[in-house]
């Protein structure tokens, strides 16, 4: 979870022409970063949480309005009980501590994912953080917690099917514009750029529907070492991409 101090962004933002409006990040490498230092994996998760702060603060500098981070996947429950319990404690601690500073920095926070398996205290804190920051517009931070792309599509399909069964939706009218209205991200634009740290070149069930036309960057940097400068370079590189969306320029 992010820790954002009071303050404002630099007065001269380095916004790249044509940069991404929405960046999504698979924050990978916390455990390996800790292991390299002879520390427990949770030490790496704490370092990774602090790293989010710098990236959230950098978003206005690079013209990024929306930032979505993958904090805990539906598959992460397979990790050891100690690690899972430590992560849940970390989420609760940072939400409790940083609600005010996030709001003062102008960050609007949303959570996506299935909340059913989360404990009541964590759910309450998530709701309170969303409510406390609902008026902010400077950065839209979305935290994917107990999230999986396939699970999201399945849950969306259930809701859509229920509306069809209740006569609220004509099945003949369902098209590719219909399903997104049932997704967790229905109020968000699709990501323009997806970044995965730590050298792994896979998407790990993250924003499967939404990222159909996103640009991807797989970088070797472990998440706790990912810097504002590297983030800026990736945003600038995105601005140089030739995005045709299936068309051919004439």
Kind of pairing between the strands at 215-218 and 66-73: unpaired
CA atoms within 13 A on the CB side of 92: 13
Show the tokens assigned to 190. 């699709």
Among the options 76, 136, 205, 225, which is catalytic? Answer: 76
CA 22 to chain centre: 10
28 is catalytic: yes
Among the options 28, 30, 146, 184, which is catalytic? Answer: 28
Q: Classify the phi-psi angles of 204: left when phi > 0, otherwise alpha if psi is within -120 to 50, otherwise beta.
A: left
119 is catalytic: no
Say if residues 147 and 184 touch (Cβ distance below 8 Å). Answer: yes
φ and ψ at residue 217, rounded to 5 degrees: -130, 120
Annotated catalytic residues are: 28, 76
């Amino acid at each position: 979870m992010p820790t954002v101090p009071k303050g404002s962004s630099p007065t001269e933002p380095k916004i790249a022409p044509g940069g991404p409006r929405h960046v999504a990040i698979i924050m990978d490498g916390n455990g390996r970063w800790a292991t390299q230092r002879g520390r427990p994996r949770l030490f790496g998760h704490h370092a990774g949480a602090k790293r989010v702060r710098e990236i959230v603060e950098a978003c206005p500098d690079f013209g990024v309005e929306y930032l979505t981070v993958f904090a805990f996947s539906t598959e992460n429950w397979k990790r050891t009980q100690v690690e899972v319990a430590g992560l849940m404690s970390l989420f609760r601690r940072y939400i409790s501590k940083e609600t005010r500073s996030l709001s003062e920095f102008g960050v609007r926070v949303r959570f996506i994912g299935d909340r059913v398996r989360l404990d009541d205290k964590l759910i309450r804190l998530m709701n309170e953080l969303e409510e406390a920051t609902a008026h902010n517009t400077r950065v839209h931070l979305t935290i994917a917690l107990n999230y999986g792309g396939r699970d999201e599509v399945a849950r969306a399909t259930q809701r859509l099917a229920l509306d069809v069964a209740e006569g609220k939706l004509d099945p003949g009218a369902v098209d590719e514009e219909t399903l997104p209205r049932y997704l967790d991200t229905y109020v968000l634009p699709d990501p323009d750029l997806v970044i995965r740290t730590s050298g792994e070149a896979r998407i790990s069930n993250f924003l499967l529907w939404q990222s159909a036309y996103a640009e991807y960057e797989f970088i070797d940097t472990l998440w706790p070492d990912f810097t504002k400068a590297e983030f800026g370079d990736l945003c600038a590189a995105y601005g140089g991409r030739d995005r045709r969306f299936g068309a051919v320029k004439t």
